[in-house]
Chain A
Amino acid sequence: MGDQQDKIRVLIAKAGLDGHDRGAKVVARALRDAGMEVIYTGLRQTPEMITEAALQEDVQVVGLSILSGAHMTLVPKIKKLLEDQGLDNVKLFLGGIIPDEDKPKLEELGVAGIYGPGTSTQSIITDIRNACQ
């Protein structure tokens, strides 16, 4: 047999109805350049679509980009759907415009990292690597 090779697989999804995917693409590209396998799903993904893609692609990480303000509805729903599918081990990362007062609640839900505008891609890469150890 050949050599074993483990790769970090990440799903990058635009949840909800906003159409601004530049941030998601920048992060996807940065993670690719960091040696990860990034599955990009495109715009307007429902929680069901994101969960299905996470299952089929067997990713360790789901990175959500939400700029619509609907994170307090979408994130708990996605978290629950992932658990229903037996994907409890999948780490959720969140990028977008997230008000400070929502952060503790999201962290309590199990969101592993929250990133606003101006975040360096290097810090996201480091956090994902640490979470996947």
Chain B
Amino acid sequence: MPVTDPEAVLRGERLAVTRALTQIENNTKEGYQLLEALFPHTGKAHLIGVTGAPGTGKSTLVNQLAYHYRHPQKENKPPRIAVIAVDPTSPFSGGALLGDRVRMQDLAGDPGVFVRSMASRGSLGGLAAATGSLVGVFDAAGYEIIIIETVGAGQAEVDIASLAHTTIVVEAPGLGDEIQTIKAGILEIADILVVNKADQPGADHSLRALRTMLTLAHPQPEDLSHHGAALQSTAVPGGEPEPDWVPPVLPTTAATGEGIPDLVEELAAHVSYLHTSGEWGKREEKRLTNELELLLRDSLRSRWETKISPTTYKSILNKVVHREITPWKAVAVLLEGAGL
């Protein structure tokens, strides 16, 4: 197979883009060279993360969102959209069934949309290890909006927050009481909260519970009078109030498209908030820090692997299994053995 030309990727040629995505996902030498060439051209796209429990309608929402961007009400030129949809890899076989495209049929035939499915390949945070790098390929290829759909996430799969500029957390009616809404984890990372399937019973209850949770997290002056006693607001200590983003809670019915225009409006509002508050730069810094640390960790691990023989590793592992030495001692021995 011919080597992919980074110039062709930058021109947005779809065959070059798709081959580059594969090389990078497979962690090949060619993929690494492509990333080297493409990185200077990244940093322009708006990265939107979509996360939430399985079955809340994430893929259907992504389908509607991308479709809405591609068919603007006014005569604006629609942005080019890339979608990266991550589904889980089986921990037993290493295989995966990637089924998000089934819900994205409305995007077929539109050359301004590129949908790529991705298996998580053993990562546990809701994304795959290479997701951030694939985002870079689309960014360099001129896709203005990149939507990243995570694995159906439970409570703690929050990697998306350090990748995306805007994180949408999708809930569906009937997924728990108010205590669920004040637990740590996925709700904390939301820039926009969506209650999808809003035409179903219980949607009002979910909307109310989420809004109550948000007034606790972002108290407004009128929320602070409890039994008549005026509580002191800690959020506004005297001087200029900090520019703060209170996540909106939106009802949508992705199956029909109800509520999608409001969601697109809130996304635009969040982008301008990110720019005026300086948060855009901060998030970019956080993302690159995160990426660097992950790369460093992986590289250290592979370098270590080349320095330790599999037999040594096995014999030490065996000692741990037979409880002759502790796992902590084993780590110390293994690192020493590799000269680290």
Q: Which of A3, A32, A39 contacts B93 (CB 8 A)?
A: A32
Contact with B along A35-46 (1 / 0, CB 8 A): 111111110000
> How many interface residues does chain B have, given as a range?
35 or more
State in angstroms the CA–CA spacing of A4 and B28 once bound together: 5
Q: Is the CB of A57 within 8 A of B26?
A: no
Q: Is the CB of A56 within 8 A of B108?
A: no
Chain A residues with Cβ under 8 A from B200's Cβ?
Answer: none
Q: Is the CB of B108 within 8 A of A2?
A: no
Q: Is the CB of B93 within 8 A of A42?
A: no
A7 within 8 A of B: yes
The 3 A-B pairs with the shortest beta carbon distances in the complex, nearest first, are: A42-B102, A32-B95, A58-B18
State in angstroms the CA–CA spacing of A53 and B102 once bound together: 11
Q: Is the CB of A32 within 8 A of B96?
A: yes
State in angstroms the CA–CA spacing of A2 and B302 once bound together: 6
* Also in contact, A35 and B299, with CB within 8 A (given A3-B27, A56-B18): no
How would you classify the secondary structure of chain B's contact residues: helix, strand, loop or mixed? mixed
Chain A residues with Cβ under 8 A from B15's Cβ?
Answer: 55, 85-87
Q: Is the CB of A39 within 8 A of B117?
A: yes
Contact with A along B68-109 (1 / 0, CB 8 A): 000000000000000000000110011111110110010011
Residue of A nearest to B302 (CB): A2
State in angstroms the CA–CA spacing of A86 and B22 once bound together: 16
State in angstroms the CA–CA spacing of A89 and B19 once bound together: 12
> How many interface residues does chain A have, given as a range?
20 to 34
Q: Is the CB of A4 within 8 A of B26?
A: yes
Q: Is the CB of B97 within 8 A of A32?
A: yes
Q: Which residue numbers of B lie inside 8 Å of A, CB to CB?
A: 1, 14-15, 18-19, 21-22, 26-29, 32, 89-90, 93-99, 101-102, 105, 108-109, 114-117, 119, 121, 129, 298-299, 301-302
Residue of A nearest to B82 (CB): A56
Q: How far is the CB of B300 from the nearest CB of chain A, in Å?
A: 10
Q: Is the CB of A56 within 8 A of B94?
A: no
A20 within 8 A of B: no
Q: Is the CB of B18 within 8 A of A28?
A: no
Q: Which residue numbers of A lie inside 8 Å of B, CB to CB?
A: 1-7, 9, 28-29, 31-42, 48-49, 52-53, 55-58, 85-87, 89
Q: Is the CB of A56 within 8 A of B102?
A: no
* Also in contact, A38 and B97, with CB within 8 A (given A55-B15, A57-B117, A58-B22): yes
Q: Is the CB of A55 within 8 A of B101?
A: no
Chain B residues with Cβ under 8 A from A87's Cβ?
Answer: 15
Chain A residues with Cβ under 8 A from B119's Cβ?
Answer: 7, 37
State in angstroms the CA–CA spacing of A53 and B113 once bound together: 11
Q: Is the CB of B95 within 8 A of A37?
A: yes
Q: Which of A34, A40, A56 contacts B95 (CB 8 A)?
A: A34
Q: Is the CB of B101 within 8 A of A42?
A: yes
State in angstroms the CA–CA spacing of A34 and B95 once bound together: 7
17 pairs across A/B with beta carbons < 8 Å?
A1-B27, A1-B32, A3-B302, A4-B26, A5-B27, A7-B94, A7-B119, A29-B97, A32-B97, A33-B90, A39-B98, A48-B109, A52-B109, A55-B14, A56-B14, A57-B116, A58-B18
Q: How far is the CB of A69 from the nearest CB of chain B, in Å?
A: 24
Q: Is the CB of A35 within 8 A of B95?
A: yes
